[in-house]
Structure 1
Amino acid sequence: MISEIEAVFASAPKLSPVEQHKGEILRAIKDRDVVIVVAPTGTGKSTQIPVMLLEVAELVVVTQPRRIAAESLARHVAMELKTDVGNIVGFQTAFSGEFSSSTRILYCTDGIEMLRQLHGARNPGSTIFVIDEAHEWSLNLEVLVAWFKKQITDGNPVKLIILSATIEADLLSAFFSDAEVINCEGKSFPVQEIPHAGNAISAAVRLLKRNLNVLVFVPGKQEIRETIAGITKSGVKAKCLPFHADLNTEDIQWVFESFDEPKCVVATTIAQTSLTIPDIDAVVDGGLERGSEYKNGVEGLYTRPVSLAEREQRRGRAGRTKPGYYIDCSKIPLKERSIFSIPSIKRHELSGMVLQVLAAGYEPEKLAFFHPPSLQRINEARQTLMNIGFLDAEQRLTKMGRQATSIPVQPRAAKMLLEAVNQNGVVDYNAITLAAVFDSKNLWFRTEEGRALIAGNYLELGVSDAFEKIKTFDAASLLPVHKLTEYGIERSSFERLKEQRVLIVERLNRLGYSEGKQNRTLHAKFIVAGLSDLVFTRSAVSGDYTGIHGSTPRKLSRGSTITAEKVVGLPWNFETHTDLGPVVRRMLLWATAIPN
């Protein structure tokens, strides 16, 4: 078996710039618990380092911040090694996976690996863990790094390599008690910055007319659609392709193809890291990114300037194989941008993280995080878990709280699900749908024809805005694929929601529960259970809703039928940037009348 594997490795291309540091990397991981490798974008760190590590490890586990990267990298490395995915090279995400007992390189999302480690995963003694794209500092990654730190401090054997193009290497080295830092200089071509007074669309058109392949960075999917529409309207000859995290594998592959005409890939931050599109000639940078943040007790989707480190990564996507061009369309001066982006652990609501850490037997206040969250944020998370019944008065996990750790949804959605279990262990069908779409803010028909499908008295009007989510999901599930797009629902995103629902049912089955129908009059009760501490009252003058402890007035979702004086709901902010500055819409989602 070993000789067969070695033969496969021998056939792998050895062209990556990190190859010249192979001996240094292998020596360092033999001698140290933790090694930090800093290498520019496109140097092959995500693909070649895991392969070289198999000379000293039985298993290499590589974490990625996104499922697209985990699957695509696994397929790329398997192709280079002339083997099938699921054999020597495999991947695992929350929704899918291809791996076997023969797998020696496993690419996985950082969330999957976090759960494996916290809940006692068993790995071969010669396993090396690789954290890739560490500069993104996702919430799962913060927990993973803190967990590895604790294992090393407790004297447990750990072999960890941290990879990044832009990271605070010296600080991270000190965090791991003087971990060795290896800098790999990548081969790149010069990138010329071109001044441009217009927007991203006009910049892209300008470059496409020069017959260049262009990568355009925009904040979100809506901007992707608008940008592609604008480029198409210009009449320039080009193949325009979207690139974002919700695309399926088949759609993703198109961005790596070559065409008889210039290619324009319009992408979110996903194209900034992990996956390199090799034939890009020029990058157009809108200078903005969109992500969730928790501000003043309210979750929201905010648009913010990219940091200087992120700008450099975007710029580096040109000049990979030949001289390239870069246009920065941002109106925000460089001196006003932060050096690094704010880590997720300081931006996100933490109840889900705190729940998982407590379930693993750790106190989050005592874990050494690289970016420590404030004690106030942890206490707020604990209070939320107490409010929904996942922690008791002594801060111990309840039975329901422990069950919730098995369900891949936010704690509030898990509360709705578990509250919907009847005495026979049957979970209501609609409660499962609601849990699956809990985080989705874009599940709605954008055309009159689509909205006509959910018109009428399906469930009681005026009871809960969440019911429209059920109606939309059920109606969309019956539509052929081409109708989804025609009616304004993005196919890939909807497929992801359906996968999420299937996964929830699988986890409920493991808990001994089954799916079924219940009395629809109970649906509001399930929703109120998950949002019981978020009570709002209606203004008789404006019709807006204000929290019972006082808060900024909030508007209901478009088309809401809620008129009740007192409701529960999920406060949510949506910020966009205009020429006049940021504009914030303060909404109350899932508004549900409190039953008498």
Structure 2
Amino acid sequence: MKMKEELKSPPAKRKRLSDHEGTSPRGLPCSSIQEERRSLPIFPARRRIIQEIQMSRSVVIIGETGSGKTTQIPQYLWEAGVNRSGMIAVTQPRRVAAITVAQRVAEEKKAELGKLVGYSVRFDDMTSPQTKIKYMTDGMLLREAIMDPTLKRYNIVILDEAHERTIHTDILFGVVKSSQRNRIKAGLPPLKIIVMSATMDVDQFSRYFNKAPVLYLEGRQFPVQVFYSSEEQSDYVFSALVTVFQIHKEEPPEQDILVFLTGQEEIESMVKSIRDIARDMEGRIPPLVVCPLYAALPSQIQLRAFQATPKGVRKVIVSTNIAETSVTIHGIKFVIDTGMVKAKLFSPSSGLDLLKVVRVSKAQALQRTGRAGREASGACYRLYTEDEFDRFSPNTVPEIQRCNLAGVVLQMLALGIQDIPNFDFMDKPSMESIIKATEQLHLLGAVEKKEQIQLTPLGKKMAAFPLEPRLSRVILSAKDYGCLEEILSIVSLLSVESVLFNPHSKKEEALAARRKFISSEGDHITLLNIFKAYRGVNGNKQWCHDNFINMRNMKTAMSVRKQLREISVRLELPLQSCGLDTTSIRKCLSMGLFLNSAELQKEGEYCTLTNRKTVAIHPSSALFRCKPAYVIFSELLQTSKCYMRDLCVIDPDWLHEAAPMYFKRKKMKT
């Protein structure tokens, strides 16, 4: 490793807010929580922030992680009455962040969650008519805009974590900007837009929001030493393992380490390796506590990463990019950055979505480095050379430029936006991606072309579901196959993080426990069997533990199912069950997933039917040791191979029933 100069707080941009004025006009109760609020770096700038926002229609706020911007600015604006009688919406890219921040702010206001402070995320609404500060995912505000394009309920919209540039966030930028403009024209109360982030292309955001002023907030960032690899690493997981023990050997214990990896399997493998080596070296090195951290992990195990480390012990947290911005972990002194992340990519030419391990951007690398300087000076070990870092892209490519736009186009049409290529995107997606998305929606029966592209009656119903268009199509097809109850259960499980918990240390036990649910017809029917069994024991906690089922994710799936069922009732879909007739279920799944189909070749490999891409069955699939002739799948994961995940055995005739013209055309081409 070679050392780079220390990283300190970046220089102020535009207006630095650092005055020491201001107390709440409504008064703040004296308590430890309120003392904590006053101790935040943002507090001295309270009055200036309010003044700047009062004077401007749009404001961009750069606030380092830990400054308090997400929790405090909405409270300051409410306490000062800037929102008047309207609500303050605060959007978050992740549901976890929306819920946890709302809980924290409600606690600070000494208010019951759902009253003054509430949240709204997909399939979970905790608000009431009294709610004035509403945390929500960007997707939820977008859905509200479908019903009310001027967003009349809100006088202030805060777009937080704007640098993450999710698909929903990028559309939302254009939608709220349009709402702001239309309200001025209609003589309605003005809409204030506040864009917040820890790091982003400030000039681009300022220009986009009509030359909005940029405010810079001081944070609690301590100096961080950065070490680069002296040569390129062929195996970043092994390099991370070596670096963990290098630090553990040389640095005092009670200084914790955070390692960034890309996904569950890598993390579980690394955790096992660290524990095995630590066990072999017991007595020769200080004790280690190793904690995995990823979204599919049961909550009680996730919490271990946040618990205080015992005296004389070092904690090593091995995490996905969930630890970049969404959560704060106390005690981190060292960060090990592999420079890799799992990202969704879409190829317009092939029409396939991929989950692929790719390089992070410089902005992401900076976020990761900052994790080591939250509470004291720290160090970041970058497992790539400085030359490699120089070749990283400056910012993460916006999701809207690398993902399947079928859901985006469907939502925009539902919003009444028909001229999609000329929509006011901050970064325009390619014309090829828009055309491909429109073609997919046409194949699903959601759009038709008259004078211009417009939604069909089926498309309007599809837009009512907060799902990918193909899953909406599956639900709407269930009425023809009499299996809506089963389809709702399957789609609910596909809409949440994995309900299967596979600890590396108990892999064989987990597989043995799961065998009783496995169906030879594939993963979708296996998931249905798990759902039925879970409901049969009324969600018993011990049953979940014994069967290696993630109880929290199962509860979320039950909540998702309830809301999907309510939408189905509203659309007057018949709530029928097909009992044990799984053929109807698989036919129904084919109606939405026909573009994700593959056939077995003579050589024993699979090829997708859409573009003849070679794919393989993922080892976690119920069909891994089988070779059915035709399958459909939910997603592709690109690692050493391109793997199909969540598979279902089908009859090729069902594909022709789902899209006769498409598969006739495909047959002629092949």
For normalisation by structure 1, the TM-score amounts to 0.87
Once the two structures are superposed, residues 475-514 of structure 1 have per-residue CA deviations (whole angstroms, 9 ceiling, x without a partner) of: 4655754554565544444444343333322322232335
Cα distance in 1 for residues equivalent to 2:585 and 2:438? 26
User: What letter matches 2:406 in structure 1?
Assistant: S
Q: Answer yes or no: is the 8 Å Cα contact 1:133–1:274 preserved in 2.
A: no
2:489 maps to which residue? 433
Deviations 1:408-462 (A, max 9, x none): 2211111111111159xx652222223223467956686441343035xx6xx56
Partner residue of 2:603 out of 520, 532, 542: 542
* Separation (CA, whole Å) in 1 of partners of 2:132 and 2:612: 53
Counterparts in 2 of 1:169-208, with a 5 A limit?
Answer: 169-194=202-227, 199-207=239-247
Match of 1:530 among 584, 588, 592: 592
* Higher alpha-carbon deviation: 302-311 or 323-332: 323-332
Unaligned runs of 5+ in 2: 1-22, 185-189, 231-237, 280-285, 655-670
Corresponding residue of 1:351: 406
Residue 36 and residue 248 in structure 1: after superposition, are their counterparts in 2 closer, same or farther (change >3 A)? farther
**Residue 317 of structure 1: SS of its match in structure 2?**
helix
User: Kindly tell me: are residues 515 and 242 of structure 1, through their superposed partners in 2, closer, same or farther at Cα, counting changes over 3 Å?
Assistant: farther
Partner of 1:257: 307
Corresponding position: 1:453 with 2:507: no
Q: Quick check: 1:335 aligned with 2:335? A: no
Amino acid at match of 2:124: S
**Are 1:279 and 2:322 counterparts?**
no
Cα distance between partner residues in 2 of 1:531 and 1:297: 13
8 Å contact 1:409–1:435 — kept in the other structure? Answer: no
Distance 1:319 1:538, change over 3 A: closer
Partner of 1:14: 38
Greater mean deviation of Cα atoms: 81-90 or 289-298? 81-90
Q: 1:364-379 to 2 correspondence within 5 Å? A: 364-379=420-435
Q: Structure 2 matches for 1:42-121, cutoff 5 A?
A: 42-54=66-78, 55=80, 56-58=82-84, 59-120=87-148
- Which deviates more, 446-455 or 144-153? 446-455
**Number of residue pairs aligned between Structure 1 and Structure 2:** 579
1:562 Cα deviation after fit: 7.4
- Whether the aligned pair in 2 keeps the contact of 1:466 and 1:592 (CA below 8 Å) is no
Structure 2 residue identity aligned to 1:212: Q
SS of 1:587's partner is strand
Residue 213 of structure 1 corresponds to: 256
Distance 1:240 1:500, change over 3 A: farther
Cα pair distance change 1:409/1:420, threshold 3 Å: same
Q: How far is 1:92 from its partner?
A: 1.8
1:468 is aligned to 2:526 = yes
Match of 1:245 in 2: 295
| C-alpha contact (below 8 Å) 2:614/2:642 kept by paired residues | no
In the TM superposition, what is the alpha-carbon distance from 1:549 to its structure 2 partner?
Answer: 5.7
What secondary structure sits across from 1:192 in the alignment?
Answer: strand
Work out whether residues 256 and 332 of structure 2, in 8 Å CA contact, stay in contact via their aligned partners in 1. yes
Distance 1:545 1:320, change over 3 A: closer
8 Å contact kept, 1:382–1:391: yes
Q: 2:165 is matched with which residue?
A: 137
Deviates more, 1:260-269 or 1:294-303: 260-269
Alignment match, 1:36: 60
* Greater mean deviation of Cα atoms: 347-356 or 473-482: 473-482
Matching of residues 551-590 of structure 1 within 5 Å: 551-556=612-617, 558-560=621-623, 567=630, 569-570=632-633, 572-576=635-639, 583-587=640-644, 589-590=647-648
Counterpart contact for 2:597–2:633, Cα < 8 Å? no
Deviation at 1:45, TM superposition (A): 1.3
Question: Distance in 2 between the 1:273 and 1:225 partners?
Answer: 22
Structure with the larger helix share: 2
The one-letter code sitting in structure 2 at the alignment partner of 1:325 is A
Shift in Å at residue 532 of structure 1? 3.8
Change (3 A) 1:252 1:78: farther
Q: Report the counterpart of residue 508 of structure 1 in structure 2.
A: 568
Task: Report if the CA contact (8 A) 1:466-1:591 is conserved.
Answer: no
- The sequence identity of aligned pairs, in percent, is 26
Moved more, 386-395 or 328-337: 328-337
Q: Secondary structure at the match of 2:374?
A: coil
Q: Is the partner of 1:14 in helix, strand or coil? A: helix
Aligned residues of 1:191 and 1:323 also touching (Cα < 8 A): yes
* Partner of residue 303 from structure 1, selected from 357, 367, 376: 357
Describe the shift of the 1:564–1:553 C-alpha distance in structure 2 as closer, same or farther (beyond 3 A).
same
- Measured against aligned partners, the alpha-carbon deviations of 1:508-539 in whole angstroms (never above 9, x if no partner) come to 22323353312623223212211345555442
What SS is found at the alignment partner of 2:575? Answer: strand
The Cα RMSD (Å) is: 3.2
Report if aligned partners of 1:85, 1:98 keep a CA contact under 8 Å in 2.
Answer: yes
Q: Post-superposition shift, 1:390?
A: 1.2
Post-superposition offset of 1:259: 3.7
8 Å CA contact 1:388–1:532 kept in 2: the answer is no
Gaps of 5+ in 1: 577-582
Cα contact 2:113–2:126 (8 A) shared by 1: yes
2:610 and 2:326 map into 1 onto residues whose CA distance is 44
C-alpha distance in structure 2 between counterparts of 1:7 and 1:441, whole Å? 42
